[in-house]
Each structure stands twice: as structure tokens, then as C-alpha cells.
């Protein structure tokens, strides 16, 4: 089996560390593993498959000899090094939002549009975490009848804001118990015992940048240029795993039974739908694994062609790290 030289740009962050973990779990065929980060992390070591791997400096010359680079850094870092990665002959699979809407760059969820990876010109974009989880959940419905519209509300875990998010949640929880002061810095307001309907920056249309990703990225991934999506994104006091309530409107009416059967047999999903026995997706069920759980499937009461469901998935894994590794696996034809 051919082995590949793989780099992780932003290897010390939460997503970078998870990428490393998923590469090991899936026995990705690695010859050289090159972990790249900022100067403050250089020289530190990370365990991988029983070996110590030293962190190296992310610089313009750092990508020579690599075949694949997984990006887990900011937009600015991704833009800074993109040309260097492509020039070195590697494929850059980037988790930032820097290139997602570039028409020349594939935006890929392997269960949905995996063949798009082969259209790359050196860069493949990894979608937004909530977009990935939602689209994996509803893609089976699209196979029954074309989806024309979605109305979604996301309930996003604090770790979606980075490693500091859960720390702030825990600190505030302790402060509430002990009577201490609460001084939010990661989130706009106290997140403990609260929900905040504000993720991203507000746009002129009243939606946020995070909310518009569901429509803009959804159209590109599902090859549905006329898809209409209205979305509200909410931060909730959960450590890990995003949940989404979504009503899907299809071109032709589909039945709940057909939807359940399609989701049951779809790649990347688990049908987890037995309300009578209190069985439905939740963050505590879906964290630390790679499948999207789907439940609460029912007919919409407003639109006769609508199906409403609830889904949840680990946004650090399937919503980021695992999806990127799956893209790399698809690219090299490896089934791990």
C-alpha cells in the first residue's frame, strides 16, 4: 500500500489534535507526519501511534515533500500558506472558511458529494460544522425528492467557539454555585444557564454570517443552486456536539416512513427515533464519535411537502476533523 506524507497546519489546536486522533483511528497510510504550528509550540512533542512527533514551525518552506496538508488554522493562516502548499505539490484540505465559496474550490462532505474531491486544483474546502451535520442528516431525503427549502435552528455547543468556550462555561457554572463574579470574554453574554441567539457577525439582512452558511454552503455541496434556507444559530450551555432542528420542504411529497427508511440506510447517519421510549438524538449520545443521529421525524404541520426532524452530531469530529480526514481518504482511494 502506498503511504503518504501528511502535514497538519494548526496541529496544536482543538481541531488539529482531533485530526491527529482520527488519522490514527482510521489507520491512514502515513509515511511522514509533519505537525506545523506557531513559534510558541515549536519543539513540543505529540504522541502518535506510539511515537513522539515534534512540532515544527509553520513557515513558507514547511510544506516541501508533503502530499496532503490538513488545515486546522484561521482564515488568515490558511490564506497565508495556501499558495506555498499548492506550489509544493500537496493538496490542501482546509477547515477554515477562507475558500469555501470560491467557485474553483470543491466544498465537500464525502457522504454527499465525494466525487467533487477529484475536481480540485490543489485545494479542497471543509464545510461549516453545522452545515455538515445538517446536510448529512437530510441528504437521504434529497434522494427521495429534491429539497427546495429548509428552515433550521441550530443549538451549538460551546466548544464550537474553540477550546476557551467550555472553559468559560465551567468557570461561570462554578461562579454561579460559589457566588463569584461572571465576566464573559469568549461569548457576548454569560453562557451558563443561558442561550445566546448570536453566532457570527450580523449582516444587512438581519441574519448572521454563521446563519447564511447553511444556505450558501448547502447549495454548493448538494448541487442545488436554488435551495432556499432560513436559519437561526444559537449558542447553548453544552460542551460538545451540535444539535439542529430542521424542516425540509421537498419538490414532491414524501412520507415519514420513506424518510425513516432512507435515513436508516444512508451513509453517515443513525436512525435514532423512538419517542415513545424517549429515544432521540442528544449531545450526550452523539459526542466523541463520527455519525449523525437523526430522530423526531414527523410531517410538518404548515407545509404539506415538509418533513421536520431533529439531528445531532459531534462538531469537532464529523463537523470538522473527521470530515477532513474522510476527504483525504476519498482523495487517495483509501477505505480505513
223 is catalytic: no
129 is catalytic: yes
**Kind of pairing between the strands at 123-125 and 91-94:** parallel
Selecting among 59, 198, 231, 242, the annotated active-site residue is 242
Distances in whole angstroms, Cα of residue 169 to Cα of each of 188, 197, 243, 255: 12, 16, 18, 41
Selecting among 60, 129, 198, 233, the annotated active-site residue is 129
| Residues with catalytic function | 129, 242
Amino acid at each position: 500500500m502506498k503511504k503518504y506524507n501528511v502535514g497538519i497546519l494548526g496541529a496544536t489546536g482543538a481541531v488539529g489534535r482531533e485530526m491527529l486522533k482520527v488519522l490514527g483511528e482510521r489507520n491512514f497510510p502515513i509515511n511522514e507526519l509533519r505537525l506545523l504550528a506557531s513559534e510558541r509550540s515549536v519543539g513540543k512533542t505529540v504522541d502518535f501511534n506510539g511515537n513522539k512527533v515534534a512540532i515544527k514551525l509553520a513557515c513558507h518552506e514547511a510544506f516541501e515533500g508533503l502530499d496532503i496538508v490538513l488545515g486546522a488554522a484561521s482564515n488568515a493562516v490558511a490564506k497565508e500558506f495556501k499558495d506555498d502548499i499548492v506550489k509544493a505539490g500537496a493538496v490542501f484540505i482546509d477547515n477554515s472558511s477562507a475558500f469555501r465559496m470560491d467557485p474553483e474550490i470543491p466544498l465537500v462532505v464525502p457522504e454527499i458529494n465525494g466525487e467533487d474531491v477529484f475536481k480540485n486544483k490543489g485545494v479542497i474546502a471543509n464545510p461549516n460544522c453545522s452545515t455538515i451535520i445538517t446536510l448529512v442528516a437530510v441528504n437521504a431525503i434529497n434522494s427521495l425528492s429534491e429539497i427546495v427549502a429548509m428552515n433550521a435552528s441550530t443549538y451549538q455547543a460551546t466548544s464550537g467557539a474553540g477550546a476557551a468556550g467550555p472553559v468559560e462555561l465551567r468557570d461561570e457554572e462554578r461562579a454561579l454555585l460559589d457566588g463569584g463574579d461572571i465576566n464573559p470574554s469568549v461569548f457576548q453574554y454569560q453562557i451558563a444557564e443561558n442561550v445566546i441567539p448570536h453566532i457570527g457577525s450580523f449582516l444587512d439582512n438581519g441574519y448572521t454570517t454563521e446563519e447564511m452558511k447553511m444556505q450558501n454552503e448547502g447549495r454548493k455541496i448538494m448541487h442545488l443552486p436554488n435551495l432556499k434556507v432560513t436559519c437561526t444559530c444559537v449558542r447553548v450551555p453544552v460542551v460538545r456536539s451540535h444539535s439542529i432542528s430542521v424542516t425540509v420542504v421537498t419538490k414532491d411529497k414524501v412520507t415519514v416512513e420513506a424518510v425513516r427508511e432512507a435515513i436508516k440506510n444512508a451513509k453517515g447517519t443513525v436512525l435514532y427515533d423512538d419517542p415513545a421510549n424517549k429515544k432521540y438524538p442528544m449531545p450526550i449520545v452523539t459526542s466523541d464519535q463520527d455519525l449523525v443521529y437523526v430522530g423526531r421525524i414527523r410531517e410538518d404541520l404548515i407545509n404539506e411537502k415538509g418533513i421536520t426532524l431533529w439531528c445531532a452530531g459531534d462538531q469537532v469530529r464529523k463537523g470538522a476533523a473527521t470530515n477532513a480526514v474522510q476527504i483525504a481518504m476519498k482523495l487517495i482511494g483509501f477505505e480505513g
